[in-house]
Structure 1
């Protein structure tokens, strides 16, 4: 679960932070923490970010530009702004504070110098805490959906077509070659290395594949072929056949 801004402020690294506005929004979740000095930071936001800044460029902007900056952050989905009152500002300008209060936007200040690297490191550790290790991307849900709707074999025939009608050896060789090409984004040298063959052999095989399957360059086609190869492996493992049966 993502931490709230209030939770982040309880971390030791945030000791000394003072909340000047937006107290009612401290319970909102924070997705990430960015160090930003640019005045158009809002265009980079995806929503939920806490921005940290020295305010060096903001201090040089007009009062109206400062208010517009704060408004852009609020409308862009940021969850708050942390200012270090050391380099750019010694005190928060009235226009900036007024805009923060108008939008009920959390404006947080440090009166002394702090380590932004430490702030972001501990905040990100808390944000990522409890999420566990990233899972390996899986096509299993798609494969299961095809199987559950009885479309597995039709999909295989539509994607791999003539390959499925070949004898075992050429079918295995060409499907393995196709798999290597898809896995390497059609890098011929890398595919040849993985398969233990010469590049000239790869060119010969890919001509065979194109003759049987047509255009192999289209990304949607490649996605379909990749899914079909995964499906052929799962089908073979599940029901014990080495070849997709022909239609009756």
Structure 2
């Protein structure tokens, strides 16, 4: 602990007596040194922080003369810690006018008895200053050792920042070369980094600047690589007046960061590639093969039931989103179950516990630059299905202009149309119905109910422009819509039910399918919805 006037007063061997206490806390202010002087103006020989000892050799007894009229005021402006008056040498007691001046200037004043030499006080202060410096060096060494150990952690940059804040008793942040915060010891900093302004402009590599802002003593260190490239800025703050921050410790942290950032970048790239490979393995159904490495990659694996998240967007936004999942930093991941995550083909994929998937979504969606798709619930061996759902949900969200979508959330979500690329579905439909693409039925041959041209009635529904032919695809579509009920199909087309039966037999033969097979019926239904064949195809496509 630094030596103070209060420390001297507590030492009974010195027998000091406090006469004027001075300003609040003045006697607990550290003393830098001690000086003895009988001069009427000793200020040219003082730097501030000293304790002044005197016997009043030149001081008048009753009232101050011109030389001593502002004696204590001048000393107060210099910033000394107090005045020690040796009584019994030239004055039996401390002159009253000196006591009054000390009271007016809030200057501590104490008396030194005749039997106590000034050298005893000087030695005590000297030992105290030496001990304080020794303790300071020891503390600095211990702190530097703790910072050095931070370099050997899995995430040295983040650890150095958080450890620096702990050791200085304040806060710290790492800025990138553009001045944006990339790491910080606290989620919310007490100052706006943008308010630093010109403080982040350095003309000399590795320069440091010190400012006071909003009650904080702040140091800004320019971090450069060994090759002279700007890596960023270390900003640290401690509540107090300018000069109270532990600047040597912050300088040590800046030096370590210059080495850690470069090596950390290489390590992070390697870790990112490994995470990408492992999360791909999980999403393809190989979670058990990944489990032995999960604690090193993600600090564990989330608990079932699970949800898969696909996050897509700008590269910078994805990097920001990835930092939310990072388990080895002070982030949201600290308060949740572990998340298995990694980059795959330009998208960020994450497997999280379904119980807190909503919290993850809320945090991710604070950045408007990303789009998130979420799967339905699943277990580890069911991840391939969940991956497809998350992919489809994100794709549908981007198509619809939404920022997020949970699989099956929107109308029609999970339908075949939303799961398959439309161009692929049209290709499937045209190939499936190709055998009947040119098949038409001539309505002018034979009896076809009441809706024939000869009777002057309406042309059959879905017929050609001339009303004399009917496309086989339109007949099949109507038959599927009516669930194969011949009488209902006949009414819809204006045909006889036996004619419908005959037409459907020809269609079944041309397609070489069994219309009683449910799978065949389902495939034909989607084919009729997407095909370009048939008289009603163009009208139907226009409505979609």
TM-score (norm 1): 0.51
Q: Measure the CA separation in 2 of the matches of 1:67 and 1:22.
A: 21
Contact 1:55 1:88 in 2 (8 A): yes
Q: Does 1:8 align with 2:8?
A: yes
Please state how far the C-alpha of 1:132 moved relative to its aligned partner: 2.1
Please state how far the C-alpha of 1:4 moved relative to its aligned partner: 2.0
Please state how far the C-alpha of 1:58 moved relative to its aligned partner: 2.6
- SS of the aligned residue for 1:72 comes to helix
Q: How does 1:49-88 map to 2 (within 5 A)?
A: 49-59=50-60, 63-64=64-65, 65-88=67-90
Which residue pairs with 1:110 in the alignment? 112
Q: Measure the CA separation in 2 of the matches of 1:151 and 1:124.
A: 43
Q: Which has the higher helix share?
A: 1
Q: How does 1:214-229 map to 2 (within 5 A)?
A: none
Q: Measure the CA separation in 2 of the matches of 1:20 and 1:134.
A: 32
Q: Report Cα offsets for 1:110-153 as digits up to 9, x if no partner.
A: 24232111110111101221422998xxxxx97xx89725239x
Contact 1:4 1:29 in 2 (8 A): yes
Contact 1:59 1:89 in 2 (8 A): no
Q: Report Cα offsets for 1:173-217 as digits up to 9, x if no partner.
A: xxxxxxxxxxxxxxxxxxxxxxxxxxxxxxxxxxxxxxxxxxxxx
Which residue pairs with 1:132 in the alignment? 134
Please state how far the C-alpha of 1:108 moved relative to its aligned partner: 0.6
Distance 1:147 1:27, change over 3 A: closer
Contact 1:36 1:52 in 2 (8 A): yes
Which residue pairs with 2:243 in the alignment? none
Q: Which moved more, 1:120-129 or 1:66-75?
A: 66-75
Q: Measure the CA separation in 2 of the matches of 1:147 and 1:103.
A: 48
Q: Which moved more, 1:50-59 or 1:126-135?
A: 126-135
Which residue pairs with 1:217 in the alignment? none
Which residue pairs with 1:148 in the alignment? 225
Q: Measure the CA separation in 1 of the matches of 2:109 and 2:47.
A: 19
Contact 2:61 2:95 in 1 (8 A): no
Q: Which has the higher strand share?
A: 2
Aligned length: 146
Q: Measure the CA separation in 2 of the matches of 1:74 and 1:22.
A: 14
Distance 1:151 1:127, change over 3 A: same
Please state how far the C-alpha of 1:87 moved relative to its aligned partner: 1.9
Q: Measure the CA separation in 2 of the matches of 1:6 and 1:21.
A: 12
Q: Measure the CA separation in 2 of the matches of 1:102 and 1:9.
A: 22
Structure 1 residues not aligned, in runs of 5+: 136-140, 153-248
Contact 1:34 1:50 in 2 (8 A): yes
Distance 1:79 1:149, change over 3 A: same
- SS of the aligned residue for 1:20 comes to strand
Point out which structure has higher relative CO (alpha carbons under 8 A, 6+ apart): 1
- Alignment RMSD: 3.1
Please state how far the C-alpha of 1:83 moved relative to its aligned partner: 0.6
Q: Measure the CA separation in 1 of the matches of 2:118 and 2:104.
A: 27
Q: Does 1:30 align with 2:16?
A: no
- SS of the aligned residue for 1:63 comes to coil
Contact 1:37 1:56 in 2 (8 A): yes
Structure 2 residues not aligned, in runs of 5+: 138-204, 207-221, 230-544
Q: Measure the CA separation in 1 of the matches of 2:7 and 2:111.
A: 16
Distance 1:130 1:30, change over 3 A: closer
Please state how far the C-alpha of 1:12 moved relative to its aligned partner: 4.1
Q: How does 1:162-181 map to 2 (within 5 A)?
A: none
Q: Measure the CA separation in 2 of the matches of 1:146 and 1:75.
A: 38
Which residue pairs with 2:42 in the alignment? 41
Q: Measure the CA separation in 1 of the matches of 2:93 and 2:49.
A: 26
Q: Measure the CA separation in 2 of the matches of 1:134 and 1:150.
A: 33
Q: Measure the CA separation in 2 of the matches of 1:14 and 1:67.
A: 30
Structure 1 residue ranges, 4+ long, deviating more than 6 angstroms after superposition: none
Q: Measure the CA separation in 2 of the matches of 1:119 and 1:110.
A: 9
